[in-house]
Amino acid sequence: MFKRSEQAGAGRAVAFRLAGQAVKAREGDSVAAAMLATGLARCRSTPVSGAPRGPYCLMGVCFECLVQIDGVGNQQACLVPVREGMVVELQQGMRALDDAAVSRGGPR
């Protein structure tokens, strides 16, 4: 579906873990772009029906690309650049609130 163009001067390779697999992306790629480049178009499943969701708007408006990054859930994959060694996991259903979010004044 998506094919990466081969441009001169493309960013260096960045290694990270995606859904338990070691993958590489280009420096400057968003997590969502890196996921799509590897062929993974699903980021999460919905809490109600379990339907798969993936990157849609790629600009932070739709919240369809929520993933867990380095242990922090509900991160918009389209807005977070890949970093060396980062760990990205897919989200399944509703994410539980943690005590840290509540103590920061987050939703209860």
pLDDT number for residue 108: 45
- Give which of 64, 78, 74 is closest to 96, Cα–Cα: 74
- Give which of 92, 91, 87 is closest to 23, Cα–Cα: 87
* Number of helices followed by number of strands (H, E) in the chain: 2, 7
Does the pLDDT value for residue 99 go beyond 60?
A: no
Does the pLDDT value for residue 28 go beyond 80?
A: yes
pLDDT tens, 2-16?
566 666 556 789 999
Q: Is 34 helix (H, G, I), strand (E, B) or coil?
A: helix
Structural domains of the chain, with CATH: 13-92 (3.10.20.440)
